[in-house]
Structure 1
Amino acid sequence: MRDPSLRRSLTLFRAFLREQHDPEHCYGLLARDAADQIERYEPLEGRVVADIGGGSGHFTEEFRRRGAQSYLFEPDRRELTARGRIPAGAVLADGYLLPLADGAADVCFSSNVLEHVADPRTFLSELVRVTRPGGLIYLSFTNWLSPWGGHETAPWHYLGAGRARTLYRWRTGRTAKHTLGENLFALHVGPTLRHIRSRDDVRIVTARSRYAPFLAETIPRLPVVREVATWNLLLILRRLP
């Protein structure tokens, strides 16, 4: 699938709608798409990839299929074993303190994790630390004001996180998995971009709307609009010497 394209965006959106019923298809497709995005900037074959917060291993498996030495670091045992087994080469580890030497990875990968950490700047610094100078960092997150910012409670999070959880329980009879301030945090596009641009250890290769069918690099440049329309911010970074 060409990135960006309307066909790609529709295919991914349809897969997301089936995520609860067919997670293998959804996350397998997303892993292939992420690998394609990485390979626009860095070949995966022969590279060492650190998959940070990669859940049950879909991304790591795809990277390995493309010839990478990929290792999964996941802090949540339930996520790690969600497919009934622990993925080969997986490590139960916190993204704030990774059991890796400085510069150990050619590619450091983190998909939809940043909005779930209380201290995103420390988390980012750890991703930078374990990436070799000149290496690639793939970092994406769902921004709070996007239509999917509240995750399973979206779009009711626009009415407030508390109301959104109440409505979710009323509609489904279940308690929402995510609670703002506990395991979900309100990240915004503008402040994140300003922080990364202020750093002297990385440079931005591209900042784009991860799933947009067009204007993918233009949307995050538009103040105010970007906070809603970006949906999911993808940052490709290079580690500086």
Structure 2
Amino acid sequence: MPRFPLRTRASAASARFARRATLRRSARLLGAFRFEQSDPDSFYGPLAQDSARMVDDLYHRAAGHGLDGRTVLDVGGGPGYFADAFHAVGARYVPVEPDPSEMHARDIDLTGVAIRGSGTALPVRDGAVDVCFSSNVAEHVSQPWVMADEMLRVTRPGGIVVLSYTLWWGPFGGHETGMWHYVLGGEGAARRYRRRHGHEPKNRFGASLFAVHCRDGLAWARSAPSGELLATFPRYHPRWAWWLVRVPILRELLVSNLVLVLRKH
């Protein structure tokens, strides 16, 4: 199979979604980030709706039809914040979450649907789902590319993997510790947070937060033996800024959140 330039692959595979990737959308999503810990519903509601539409667009380009009647496995799905949004586009939504406290963090009835399990050893058979999706989880996993391999394994041939994660050197890489990781490193930023707030940050560097880079994801996606890289783009940027993914060093600082889209062979 010929290896096309990144720009060609991205424009073809993400054309439907690109029409919605406007500056207004970016401002709306980024504005919701301030509620992530204080009011999760206000944060996850807009993000869930946008994510379901994004995945529906990407699947439509890859398969020729939308998610209606298709199974979406959400790796690191927590208590199912995205459930209603994926149901709204007709998908059968199945979250996987390793932490039982996270699974019950919100009053959502996912009895018989949710799976408790690790993203690095998914308790799902090979080729079981149409779409394997993960949103802002890889940076919380010590072996993110083992998780990515698992996502490909459980996806059926012709299905897609959509892996979206926060870049360490981007403005949100340190999560609630802000941008102090630029100056103090991850451990130093965590210590500063503890001194200022009197408790550990929710996302503790080296335990539940890890440095994951753009180059890592691109290297994995381009070498995945059972997947074809269809598209890469910055999740929260308007379409006219997607070129940032093609520029080494700059992409680590400004892409913020990278989306990798692969089709299973």
Conserved? CA contact 2:217–2:260, under 8 Å: no
Conserved? CA contact 2:79–2:104, under 8 Å: yes
After superposition, the Cα gap between the structure-2 partners of 1:45 and 1:200, relative to the gap in structure 1 and judged at 3 Å, is: same
Letter in 2 for 1:186: A
2:224 aligned with 1:199, yes or no? yes
Paired with 2:256 and 2:86, the residues of 1 have a C-alpha distance of: 25
2:94 aligned with 1:71, yes or no? yes
Match of 1:34 in 2: 51
Conserved? CA contact 2:190–2:205, under 8 Å: no
Q: Aligned to 2:231, what secondary structure does the other structure show?
A: strand
2:225 aligned with 1:208, yes or no? no
Q: Aligned to 1:25, what secondary structure does the other structure show?
A: helix
Gaps of 5+ in 2: 1-16, 60-65
Match of 2:3 in 1: none
Q: Aligned to 1:46, what secondary structure does the other structure show?
A: coil
Letter in 1 for 2:20: D
Match of 2:36 in 1: 19
After superposition, the Cα gap between the structure-2 partners of 1:130 and 1:222, relative to the gap in structure 1 and judged at 3 Å, is: same
Conserved? CA contact 1:210–1:216, under 8 Å: no
Paired with 1:109 and 1:76, the residues of 2 have a C-alpha distance of: 18
Letter in 2 for 1:21: S
Paired with 1:85 and 1:48, the residues of 2 have a C-alpha distance of: 19
Alignment equivalent of 2:186, drawn from 155, 161, 178: 161
Alignment equivalent of 1:45, drawn from 68, 79, 94: 68
- Offset at 1:150? 0.8
Letter in 2 for 1:167: R
- Offset at 1:118? 1.2
Q: Aligned to 1:218, what secondary structure does the other structure show?
A: helix
Letter in 2 for 1:210: R
Conserved? CA contact 1:56–1:80, under 8 Å: yes
Match of 1:101 in 2: 125
**Aligned CA-pair RMSD:** 1.6
Match of 1:87 in 2: 110
Q: Deviating runs (4+, > 6 A) in structure 1?
A: none
2:148 aligned with 1:124, yes or no? yes
Paired with 1:164 and 1:17, the residues of 2 have a C-alpha distance of: 19
Letter in 1 for 2:83: T
User: TM-score, length-normalised on structure 2?
Assistant: 0.86
Conserved? CA contact 2:129–2:159, under 8 Å: yes
Letter in 2 for 1:40: D
Paired with 2:143 and 2:190, the residues of 1 have a C-alpha distance of: 23
Letter in 1 for 2:47: L
2:163 aligned with 1:139, yes or no? yes
Gaps of 5+ in 1: none
2:172 aligned with 1:148, yes or no? yes
Paired with 1:195 and 1:138, the residues of 2 have a C-alpha distance of: 13
Query: Structure 1 vs Structure 2: percent identity of aligned residues?
Result: 44
79-88 or 158-167, which deviates more: 79-88
208-217 or 132-141, which deviates more: 208-217
Letter in 2 for 1:217: W
